[in-house]
Amino acid sequence: MDPQLYYAAGMGAYVMVVLFATKLPYDKMVARGVEDIRAVYYNRKIVHMLAGGVGSFCVPILFTDYWYPLVCGILLTILTFAAHQSGRRMFWFQTDQNQNDVKFTLMWWVSITLIWMLVGDPWLAIIPSLFMAFGDGITGVVRNLVIRERSKSPVGNVFMFIVSAPMGWFVADLGDPSIPVWGLIAAAVATFVERYEFGPIDDNILITVFATIVLLIGIEVGPIL
């Protein structure tokens, strides 16, 4: 049997552990008097980084075929969407105010699959999802600490770029040593668009779409330095 099947099962189990284990910090924060919505927001960013971010790094290490992360991503999207629709939300990181967690899982597998299919490299494929997971993740944590509410304060974008820029450079270099500058440009663009939302089009969608576009342009154009 293809060992990738076991890797996929293991990664799926890990993500499920993260989803349910984050109820513990939620309970502790609420017990300490942290407002419910802030605790949920902290937890969502923890899930972004531990599930989406670590999962992204695992993709090029564990898989040689994009079908496995594709299926894992689809299943997780169905799970998070079903939790909202059934009224059995995982309330410690999901909220009835929006379904951004569903959009996160959707854009995770869509961006990875699309880039991998088009360019054939899993390292380049994970760059937008890393920005979405770690870049936007640290952005939310910093804003929650400083502003103490969900906001689009530019202070978060400063930290997003600090985290995203080196990831964009070095991960792009792993995929194609001729285009690390494009990884840096993608990080800058993703950081800029993170501040915006247009109705149902949230920052998860904007980050991955624009970072993907920049990377594909970079691959086509080639090195600029």
- Note the pTM of the prediction, 2 decimals: 0.93
Q: Examine the pLDDT at 154 and tell me if it is beyond 90.
A: no
Which phi and psi (to 5°) does residue 95 adopt?
-135, 150
Indicate the helix (H) or strand (E) that contains 48: none
pLDDT tens, 91-131? Answer: 999 988 888 899 999 999 999 999 999 999 999 999 999 99
Q: Examine the pLDDT at 165 and tell me if it is beyond 80.
A: yes
pLDDT at 50: 95
From the list 195, 186, 197, the residue with the least C-alpha distance to 103 is 197
Distance CA 158, CA 138 (A): 10
**Considering the chain, what is the average pLDDT of its residues?**
92
Q: Examine the pLDDT at 151 and tell me if it is beyond 70.
A: no
User: Band of the pLDDT at 225, cuts 50, 70, 90?
Assistant: low
Domain locations in the chain?
3-221
Distance CA 35, CA 57 (A): 32
Q: Which long-range contacts (CB under 8 A, 24 or more apart) does 220-225 make?
A: 221/182, 222/178, 222/179, 223/178, 223/179, 223/181, 224/181, 224/182, 225/181
Q: Examine the pLDDT at 148 and tell me if it is beyond 80.
A: no
pLDDT at 144: 79
Indicate the helix (H) or strand (E) that contains 85: helix 67-85
Q: Examine the pLDDT at 4 and tell me if it is beyond 90.
A: yes
pLDDT tens, 177-200? Answer: 989 999 999 999 999 999 888 888
pLDDT tens, 34-67? Answer: 889 889 988 999 999 999 999 999 999 999 999 9
Count of residues in the chain: 225
